[in-house]
Amino acid sequence: MEQTKYSVGLDIGTTKIVAIIGKQNEYGKIEILGIGKSKSLGVHRGVVNNITQTIKSIQQAVEEAEANSGLKIGSVVVGIAGQHIRSLQHSDYITRKDSEEVIGEEDVDTLCNQVHKLIMLPGEEIIHVLPQEYKVDGQAEIREPIGMYGGRLEANFHVVVGQVVSIKNVGRCIKSAGLDLGNITLEPLASSDAVLSQEEKEAGVALIDIGGGTTDLAIFKDGIIRHTAVIPFGGGVITEDIKEGCSIIEKQAELLKTRFGSAWPGENRDNEIVSIPGLRGREPKEISLKNLSKIIHARVVEIIEQVYVEIKNYGHEEQKKKLIAGIVLTGGGSQLKHLKQLVEYITGMDTRIGYPNEHLAGDSDEEVASPLYATAVGLLMNAIKNQEKLKLTQEEIVQEQEEELVYAERNAETVARPSIHKERKSVFDKWSEKLKEFLDNAE
């Protein structure tokens, strides 16, 4: 199978690294061709803090995915998260030279590029510039300005910013693992592509992705991204609390959490006890499930309350900004027993668990449809979308070259017509190129 037929998403998480290979079938659904995962060593709270270990983990996941699919991985789309991510709102405008001409893709690109030139704090770089609503000559609430007449094009933007060093380190790991960096995407955006429906995005929804090291939030309303945030706590701190509270090793704490853990302490009776083997011939330890769920409950409440503060900051309490579709929980941490009920109790909002199976082909492995793989599936969808864009641009180039050839043959005697092809690059592609340049210079 040739490289253009399939795409790869790579999720570099705090607890696991997942490489997922897939392609789009004739029904527009995603067929998973191979998946590889490895334990993530060298990532702390979504940020790479040990390059060598991370490279090893990436290579392991990639080799497993290649062995499962019989394919060779070249270019990957990577997710980025971590506590260094922040977002801000920004408005900008351009004045067009000729208001008699309709607004084209180039005008929107020019406006987005202008935002990319914003001066950030030292050591920060813009990751995403996401247009919200446009205004044309003062007419507000325009979703799609292309094709309209107007002299002044204005827009509100949601700008996502991250630390240069963290972005560089991710790029460095990908390069050293022998891969090409296709794109970098904010992880909550990738997860939202995988688990949210268009109806939910229209009605207003908050996606909470509880990972090992961070909890990511993405809020949508009227089909547009409105707010993003990364909270530097995830499932890892819950495991840490169990380890400390019960005086056991991390491996046992993780097992206790996944097998017997619950976010609601009221449901365990006092006499429910689990016995844990002692280390090196020591006496086994007896742990009360009620105490276990109390430890989990305390930390989960703290995480949810922090997320709820962000939802309030967005303005959920205003009638116009109400999130009618409520909350969708995803990520490995969302599998905790009774978490859905606890979130509903704290926020008073409808809640469901998000599975990334909506876009997957019917015969996909059940394992991939777990909330654990939401980000990886979203990154794969992003990679497929990029591939489609590239294909379309190439087809346009070929078509325009053919037109030029026909034109030249017809007018062999006259001066050749100037090329009608304008290089079409999205702001994102330009950003990717800048990033690649940046990484090459850092070598």
Residue 395: the pLDDT is 81
How does pLDDT run across 288-306, given as a tens digit for each residue?
999 999 999 999 999 999 9
Range with the largest mean pLDDT of 316-320, 337-341, 429-433:
337-341
Residue 4: the pLDDT is 47
Q: Which fold has domain 235-299?
A: Nucleotidyltransferase; domain 5 (3.30.420)
Spans of all domains in the chain: 235-299
Q: Does position 414 have pLDDT exceeding 80, yes or no?
A: no
Count of C-beta atoms within a 10 Å radius of residue 424:
14
Residue 67: the pLDDT is 94
Q: Does position 3 have pLDDT exceeding 70, yes or no?
A: no
Q: What is the mean pLDDT of the chain?
A: 87
Q: Does position 418 have pLDDT exceeding 60, yes or no?
A: no
Q: Does position 389 have pLDDT exceeding 90, yes or no?
A: no
How does pLDDT run across 352-387, given as a tens digit for each residue?
999 998 888 877 777 788 999 999 999 999 999 888
Residue 299 and residue 242 in contact, taking contact as beta carbons nearer than 8 Å:
no
Residue 2's φ and ψ, nearest 5 degrees, are: -80, 155
Q: How far apart are CA 374 and CA 354, in angstroms?
A: 8
Mean pLDDT, residues 222-240 taken together: 92
Mean pLDDT, residues 164-187 taken together: 92
Model confidence, pTM: 0.85
The pLDDT confidence band at residue 279, using thresholds 50, 70 and 90, is: confident
Residue 205: the pLDDT is 96
Residue 425: the pLDDT is 53
Which of 149-153, 169-173, 193-197, 402-406 is the least confident region? 402-406
Instruction: Kindly give, in sequence order, each residue whose CB lies less than 8 Å from that of residue 222, ignoring residues fewer than 6 positions away.
Output: 202, 204
Residue 441's φ and ψ, nearest 5 degrees, are: -70, -25
How does pLDDT run across 52-72, given as a tens digit for each residue?
999 999 999 999 999 998 899
Q: How far apart are CA 170 and CA 127, in angstroms?
A: 13
Encode 403-413: b = buried (16+ Cβ within 10 Å), e = exposed.
ebeeeeeeeee
Scan for tokens 């290089």, then name that residue. 423
Mean pLDDT, residues 265-292 taken together: 84
Q: What percent of the chain has pLDDT over 90?
A: 60
Q: Does position 416 have pLDDT exceeding 60, yes or no?
A: no
Residue 325: the pLDDT is 95
Q: What percent of the chain has pLDDT over 70?
A: 92
Q: Does position 428 have pLDDT exceeding 70, yes or no?
A: no
The pLDDT confidence band at residue 422, using thresholds 50, 70 and 90, is: very low
Mean pLDDT, residues 108-130 taken together: 92
Query: DSSP states of 316-381 as a string?
Result: TTSGGG--TT-EEEESGGGGSBTHHHHHHHHH-S-EEE--TTTTB-TTS-GGGGSGGGHHHHHHHH
Mean pLDDT, residues 143-161 taken together: 93
